[in-house]
Amino acid sequence: MKLFGLGYPAIVENVAKHDVTTAFLLEDIGQWSFLPRAFQAMIVDACGPNTSAEALNHLLVCIKNKTFYAEAIVCGSGQIALGCTDIDGINLPCVLTTALEAYENVAEGQQLYADDIEEGIRDDDDEYEGEAFIVKWDGGETIAFADMSGNEIPVSDDKWTFHAGL
């Protein structure tokens, strides 16, 4: 494989040395220096000691396809509130690497609401409003959303920072 001339950090190359799928995906994605800083941070973070090659490969597929997933809430303002995270000082939208993760997060949110209603913390008519979404993101400033069937959802602003509440 040509991977080891593409400028990937040693921590990433080390994973690729032990997983042929990782090596293939990195080679397919191309030169490290051409990747947005957001994607670079996500890849290095995914190479930590408690992360599997499978989890890294899910991320690499998302990066290659510029398609992620999210559990978010549609707001009346045209915002799809997806939240924000930070990796080494770089703000990133809260995106997930599989549709299953998005559905699991929605199910967990629904269960937490149900538990809160049962304990009297929430009113009986409170409903969890989180939904699973497809997120088109190239690592830059703009973002697009689709429902899980792939139908684009119009938003009032295409900057991910707006949808993350920044």
Measured in degrees and rounded to the nearest 5, phi and psi for residue 76 equal -65, -20
**pLDDT at 3 > cutoff 80:** no
**pLDDT at 39 > cutoff 70:** yes
Q: How confident is the model at residue 4 (pLDDT cuts 50, 70, 90)?
A: low
Q: What is the mean pLDDT of the chain?
A: 93
120 backbone φψ class: left, alpha, beta (φ>0; ψ -120 to 50): left
Please tell me the predicted confidence (pLDDT) of residue 76: 84
Q: How confident is the model at residue 78 (pLDDT cuts 50, 70, 90)?
A: confident
* DSSP per residue, 2-62: -GGGS---HHHHHHHHH-HHHHHHHHHH--GGGS-HHHHHHHHHHTSTT--HHHHHHHHHH
> pLDDT per residue over 40-74, tens digit each?
999 999 998 888 899 999 999 999 999 999 999 99
Please tell me the predicted confidence (pLDDT) of residue 134: 97
The predicted model gives 88-95 an average pLDDT of: 96
Q: What is the pTM of this model?
A: 0.92
The predicted model gives 139-143 an average pLDDT of: 96
Could you tell me the residue ranges of all domains in the chain? 1-65, 66-166
Share of the chain above pLDDT 90, in %: 83
Report how far residue 101's alpha carbon sits from residue 94's, in angstroms, rounded to the nearest whole number: 12
